[in-house]
Amino acid sequence: GQIIHLEDYRPTDFVLERVDLTFELDPKETKVEARLILHRREGVDASAPLVLDGDELVMTGLLLDQEELAATLYDVTDDTLTIRGLPEAAPFEVTITTLLSPETNTKLMGLYRTNSVYCTQCEAEGFRRITYFPDRPDVLAVYTVNIIADKKSAPLLLSNGNYLGGADMGDGRHFAAWFDPHPKPSYLFALVAGDLGVVEDTFTTLSGRDVALKIYVEHGKEPRASYAMDALKRSMKWDEDAFGREYDLDIFMIVAVSDFNMGAMENKGLNVFNDKYVLADPETATDADYANIEAIIAHEYFHNWTGNRITCRDWFQLCLKEGLTVYRDHEFSADMRSRAVKRIAEVRHLKSEQFPEDAGPLAHPVRPTKYREINNFYTTTVYEKGSEVTRMLATILGRDLFKKGMDLYFERHDGQAVTIEDFIACFAEVSGRDLSQFSLWYHQAGTPLVTASGVYDAAKQTFTLSLEQTVPATPGQSAKEPMHIPLRMGLLLEDGAEADLSSVTGADITGDVLHLTERKQTVVFSGITSRPVPSFNRGFSAPINLHIEQSDDDLALIARHESDLFARWQALNAIALANLVSATADVRAGKSVTVERALIDGLIGAAADDTLEPAFRSQALSLPSEADIAREIGADNDPDAIHTARQQVLKAIAVTGRETFLRLADEMASKAAFSPDAESAGRRALRNAALTYLVHGEDNPARAAEAFAAADNMTDLSHALALLAHRFPDAPETAQALATFRKRFADNALVIDKWFAVQATIPGAGTLDRIKTLMTEPLFNGNNPNRVRSLIGSYAFANPTGFNRADGEGYRFLAKQILDIDPRNPQLAARILTSMRSWRSLEDVRAGHARNALKEIVSATKLSADVSDIVERMLK
Ligand code: DPP
Ligand code: ZN
């Protein structure tokens, strides 16, 4: 594919007024008739042709104003249909007939079949696989959709908007018509047809309109959709309360399908979901599953305003809807759950997924300026960093001005396809602030590094802070400008009180936000009565790396006394990370590992502190991951040494904390019936964290096996299974638990995904053979994206020692799998390949093997644009 540049954007030559679509559904040969009403945009040359996008289409008819078009007036290429000789000013009608084969559409883009259900996925460029069309987000039109299908196999016929009516056709088929009054881009089109069960409810909006809510799932799975329904109603209410946004159709539908490339899709009025993010009950879903369902139901619903009513001018603006909508779903979850615990989980995710992306060959700005394959830009940078940028805007402006800016955005741009500049202009206008420096967050890739050091002058009672920021070079961007970094902070005094920050020179401070805007800034605080311990980046107010020389004692003080709970966790995490890095160096030097007292005391102290909520204590106990340690080390990584070091630290904490962990395992055990609420989930998390330590402090699997046998919900069951498999992979107890689990859940694909994932993440070189055997298992299905992600994705993304085998076999295996998946489902192949994004930070031998595996992929004869884009950027 060729490279698309932001600077080349220009509006279409033709304006699309209306779209009428008729589908005659058939698994092998679906006929689509698309009637497009268009007119030439004012000022466009009268000879300019109409160029429509297409992808793997078979066209069997082409009419202009109902007349067959002469062959001399149009051309068809692999990806376009060009029509010449069109009216100069008057509207005209183009009618295109195409034939599709949903059954053989393994790319899962456009119209495809999943479990005998017809389903569509059009974002980003899937609509062009249905008909020739101006398939870009700035072409907004009103759609009417007629669906004709076999009545028996497809009793349900759904599309966007409101239901107009339907009828029996007398020949075993029936038809339904839908009309969506809201102009929309083609990527929000959806059609679903099939035989599904439904869960129904209603929601009354703030202005008193009743909206019918329907969640469609496979027959028999209806009870497992009730949590999703509850989450939907809470989302609708929250968007009214928090953002004043009301729903705008008579009906809101969600369909859960089992073959889906992404998490979910926000099609207008008809969201389509990966069933993983809809279906839940205590027996089959973990607390993490419940939290994900709540967040993703909210996310897709919130898109109705941030994405659908106001959409993107072009795909470079993807963060306009995604970053903003992630921010909104984060705020929703924070309001539904514990804000601090939610923030810790978000930051863990950001650091483990987005920071490595931003530090490697795939780094790109939140708002990129070029792409080859847009599917490859649905990244953690666009989503998660995009959300953080929105959060910083709210931090800088303050709650009221941020809200005013959002209100202006909704009012001014409703019904439009806009840009990041349009969005920022609303906030600049309501606040009177110049946000041009802040906007660099959208344009400069790379995680900024802030270094800080402080000097206390007891005689003058001043504290002088020297701050410096650098933004690392990233592909295509060598020199960077200083950014506006809003750093929330506090100065903790010896008695645990907080210093007043108002007497300051060298920086603007609003509340507890220090505005770092220069490359170097010297900030002097006066009236500081004792040597202060600075606590930076409270609530992770800015997505940065922070380097500050701080003693374990000072960090421990923050961990005990900070008013910001997130900052307490951050301090504990900093103590742990430094210790894990030095332990790794110890292992590589052949020395015994030192575990600092501050770490052991800090963790056990937090765990034992009954004044803190259990969910927070479980987060405090959860050590940085092996990937976190590798990222902190940065270069020349040996995953085996990291694993050994981490295991030894874990064991030392386990031994010292044994009494505490025994107490927690007992006290946190639930006697009540299962409830998925955040508080109950927090108790389970703390109990399982305690169990993890206990099991690591013992050398037999009895405790984990007992936990497995006693578990009465999936959170506890899958945790016990992972403890057994990861700590005692070869024990008979493990083999037995795996067999029991498989037998019990063989009919439940989502649970079997967990069974594959737990085995794919067993540490050590031996896991590759296990995976090869699992691929021959009858339950393995290489065509189902969830299944492929659970086995191959988990191995490549979440098994540092297993995947990064010193002999390179893990990389060679992955290369082979990528080449196997790519022809069927390029999007899936490209996504899994990004697991190798940090290969350059490995030690030389492994890095050499990784490079060779990537070269093997790049030299394959036929690669999709998706995979070749990723592999070429990774080798550059
Ligand atoms: N379905 C994806 C999301 O909601 C892409 N829009 O983020
Ligand atoms: Zn989204």
**C-alpha closest to that of 261 among 108, 106, 104, 103:** 108
Task: Indicate the pLDDT class of residue 23, thresholds 50, 70 and 90.
Answer: very high
pLDDT digits (tens, 9 = 90+) for 825-851: 999 999 999 999 999 999 999 999 999
Residue nearest to atom 7 of ligand 1 (CA): 322
- Which ligand lies nearest to the CA atom of residue 274 in the structure? 1
Q: What mean pLDDT comes out for the span 747-768?
A: 98
Q: Which atom of ligand 1 is nearest to the CA of 299?
A: 4
pLDDT digits (tens, 9 = 90+) for 234-290: 999 999 999 999 999 999 999 999 999 999 999 999 999 999 999 999 999 999 999
Give the rounded percent of residues in the chain with a pLDDT score beyond 70. 100
Task: Please state whether the peptide bond connecting residue 479 to the residue before it is cis, i.e. omega within 30 degrees of 0.
Answer: no
Cα distances (Å, whole numbers) of residue 94 to 62, 68, 86, 141, 681? 7, 10, 10, 15, 56
Going from the Cα of 137 to the center of ligand 2, the distance in angstroms, rounded, reads 15
Amino acid sitting at position 202: T
Say what the pLDDT of residue 124 is: 98
Tell me how far apart the alpha carbons of residues 475 and 485 are, in angstroms, rounded to a whole number.
22
Q: Would you state the structure tokens that stand for residue 420, as one six-digit string?
A: 């990041």
- Cβ(265) to ligand 1 under 6 A? yes
One fold for both 311-443 and 746-876?
no
**C-alpha closest to that of 444 among 358, 508, 526, 507:** 358
Burial class (CB in 10 A: 0-12, 13-18, 19+), 78: exposed
Asked if 1 and 370 touch (Cβ cutoff 8 Å), the reply is no
- pTM of the full predicted structure? 0.99
Give the rounded percent of residues in the chain with a pLDDT score beyond 90. 99
DSSP, collapsed to helix, strand or coil, labels residue 92 as strand
Q: Which atom of ligand 1 is nearest to the CA of 296?
A: 4
- Cβ(329) to ligand 1 under 6 A? no
In this predicted structure, the answer to whether residue 495 has a pLDDT above a threshold of 90 is no
Q: Which atom of ligand 1 is nearest to the CA of 383?
A: 7
In the chain, count of helices (H) and strands (E)? 30, 33
pLDDT digits (tens, 9 = 90+) for 634-648: 999 999 999 999 999
The Cβ of residue 510 has, within 10 Å, a number of other Cβ atoms equal to 13
DSSP states along 700-761:
STHHHHHHHHH--SHHHHHHHHHHHHHH-TT-HHHHHHHHHHHHHHTT-HHHHHHHHHHHHT
User: Per-domain residue ranges for the chain?
Assistant: 4-195, 311-443, 449-549, 550-698, 746-876
Q: What mean pLDDT comes out for the span 125-144?
A: 98
Say what the alpha-carbon torsion angle 455, 458, 462, 468 is, to the nearest 10 degrees.
0
Q: What interhelical angle do 809-821 and 767-774 show, nearest 10?
A: 20
pLDDT digits (tens, 9 = 90+) for 695-718: 999 999 999 999 999 999 999 999
- Cβ(123) to ligand 1 under 6 A? yes
Mutate-to-test residue for ligand 1 from 120, 123, 311, highest number of ligand atoms within 8 A of CB: 123
- Output 735-743 pairs: Cβ under 8 A, ≥24 positions apart: 737/705, 737/708, 740/708, 741/717, 742/779
Amino acid sitting at position 522: T
**C-alpha closest to that of 108 among 99, 116, 119, 117:** 119
Task: Indicate the pLDDT class of residue 740, thresholds 50, 70 and 90.
Answer: very high
Residue bearing tokens 């099609």: 267
Say what the pLDDT of residue 55 is: 98
Q: ipTM score of the complex? A: 0.98
Phi/psi region, residue 415 (left: phi>0; alpha: psi -120 to 50; beta: rest), is: left
- Which ligand lies nearest to the CA atom of residue 326 in the structure? 2
Mutate-to-test residue for ligand 1 from 188, 268, 274, 300, highest number of ligand atoms within 8 A of CB: 300
Active site includes 300?
Answer: yes
Tell me how far apart the alpha carbons of residues 637 and 417 are, in angstroms, rounded to a whole number.
45
> Mean pLDDT score of the chain, rounded to an integer?
98
Starting at the edge strand found earlier in the chain, the sheet holding 67-68 runs 67-68, 58-64, 92-100, 30-40, 14-24, 141-150, 173-184, 162-168
Residue nearest to atom 4 of ligand 1 (CA): 265
Say what the pLDDT of residue 494 is: 85
In this predicted structure, the answer to whether residue 518 has a pLDDT above a threshold of 90 is yes
Residue bearing tokens 């927090």: 682
- Which ligand lies nearest to the CA atom of residue 329 in the structure? 2
Say what the pLDDT of residue 167 is: 98
- Cβ(300) to ligand 1 under 6 A? yes
- Domain 550-698: which CATH class? mainly alpha
pLDDT digits (tens, 9 = 90+) for 435-492: 999 999 999 999 999 999 999 999 999 999 999 999 999 999 999 999 999 999 999 9
pLDDT digits (tens, 9 = 90+) for 25-41: 999 999 999 999 999 99
Task: Indicate the pLDDT class of residue 670, thresholds 50, 70 and 90.
Answer: confident
Q: What is the CATH number of domain 4-195?
A: 2.60.40.1730
Residue nearest to atom 1 of ligand 1 (CA): 265
φ, ψ for residue 17 (rounded to 5)? Answer: -95, -40
- Cβ(771) to ligand 1 under 6 A? no
The Cβ of residue 137 has, within 10 Å, a number of other Cβ atoms equal to 23
Say what the alpha-carbon torsion angle 779, 784, 790, 795 is, to the nearest 10 degrees.
100
Mutate-to-test residue for ligand 1 from 119, 303, 324, 387, highest number of ligand atoms within 8 A of CB: 303
Task: Indicate the pLDDT class of residue 671, thresholds 50, 70 and 90.
Answer: confident
Q: Would you state the structure tokens that stand for residue 100, as one six-digit string?
A: 């599709």
Amino acid sitting at position 400: D
- Cβ(554) to ligand 1 under 6 A? no
**C-alpha closest to that of 257 among 280, 227, 277:** 277
Residue bearing tokens 């062959």: 71
What DSSP element (H or E) covers 173? strand 173-184
Residue nearest to atom 3 of ligand 1 (CA): 265
**C-alpha closest to that of 499 among 541, 527, 460, 539:** 527
Residues 6+ apart with CB under 8 A from 372: 1, 2, 3, 4, 865, 869
**C-alpha closest to that of 810 among 777, 763, 778:** 763
Mutate-to-test residue for ligand 1 from 262, 301, 326, highest number of ligand atoms within 8 A of CB: 262
Residue bearing tokens 């309501």: 430
- Cβ(264) to ligand 1 under 6 A? yes
Going from the Cα of 265 to the center of ligand 2, the distance in angstroms, rounded, reads 7
Whether domain 449-549 has CATH 3.40.50.740: the reply is no
- Which ligand lies nearest to the CA atom of residue 264 in the structure? 1
Superfamily classification of domain 311-443: Neutral Protease Domain 2 (1.10.390.10)
Tell me how far apart the alpha carbons of residues 78 and 721 are, in angstroms, rounded to a whole number.
50
Q: Which atom of ligand 1 is nearest to the CA of 307?
A: 6
Say what the pLDDT of residue 182 is: 98
**C-alpha closest to that of 184 among 154, 153, 149, 141:** 141
- Which ligand lies nearest to the CA atom of residue 271 in the structure? 1
Q: Which atom of ligand 1 is nearest to the CA of 263?
A: 1
Amino acid sitting at position 410: F
Q: Which residues pair with 133 in a beta bridge?
A: 53
Say what the pLDDT of residue 276 is: 98
DSSP, collapsed to helix, strand or coil, labels residue 528 as coil
Mutate-to-test residue for ligand 1 from 322, 329, 381, highest number of ligand atoms within 8 A of CB: 322
Q: Which residues pair with 166 in a beta bridge?
A: 176
Tell me how far apart the alpha carbons of residues 33 and 348 are, in angstroms, rounded to a whole number.
48
Residue nearest to atom 5 of ligand 1 (CA): 265
- Cβ(613) to ligand 1 under 6 A? no
Going from the Cα of 292 to the center of ligand 2, the distance in angstroms, rounded, reads 13
First-last CA distance in the chain: 17
Tell me how far apart the alpha carbons of residues 345 and 351 are, in angstroms, rounded to a whole number.
10
Q: Which residues pair with 121 in a beta bridge?
A: 110
Fold of the CATH domain 746-876: Zincin-like fold (1.25.50)
- Cβ(266) to ligand 1 under 6 A? yes
Please compute Rg for the chain using Cα positions. 28
Q: What mean pLDDT comes out for the span 419-443?
A: 98
Going from the Cα of 32 to the center of ligand 2, the distance in angstroms, rounded, reads 28
Going from the Cα of 300 to the center of ligand 2, the distance in angstroms, rounded, reads 6
Asked if 244 and 407 touch (Cβ cutoff 8 Å), the reply is yes
pLDDT digits (tens, 9 = 90+) for 814-832: 999 999 999 999 999 999 9
Residue nearest to atom 2 of ligand 1 (CA): 265
DSSP 73: G
| Active-site hit among 266, 300, 353, 357 | 300
In this predicted structure, the answer to whether residue 683 has a pLDDT above a threshold of 80 is yes
Angle at 748 between CA 747 and CA 751, to 5 degrees: 135
Tell me how far apart the alpha carbons of residues 306 and 323 are, in angstroms, rounded to a whole number.
10
Q: Would you state the structure tokens that stand for residue 391, as one six-digit string?
A: 């959060």
- Which ligand lies nearest to the CA atom of residue 323 in the structure? 2
Q: Which atom of ligand 1 is nearest to the CA of 322?
A: 7
Q: Which residues pair with 46 in a beta bridge?
A: none
Asked if 123 and 189 touch (Cβ cutoff 8 Å), the reply is no
Going from the Cα of 753 to the center of ligand 1, the distance in angstroms, rounded, reads 22
**C-alpha closest to that of 311 among 190, 409, 405:** 409
Tell me how far apart the alpha carbons of residues 261 and 828 are, in angstroms, rounded to a whole number.
7
Residues 6+ apart with CB under 8 A from 190: 120, 122, 158, 159, 160, 265, 267, 268, 270, 272
Q: What mean pLDDT comes out for the span 757-768?
A: 99
In this predicted structure, the answer to whether residue 300 has a pLDDT above a threshold of 80 is yes
Q: What mean pLDDT comes out for the span 302-322?
A: 99
Say what the pLDDT of residue 312 is: 99
pLDDT digits (tens, 9 = 90+) for 331-376: 999 999 999 999 999 999 999 999 999 999 999 999 999 999 999 9
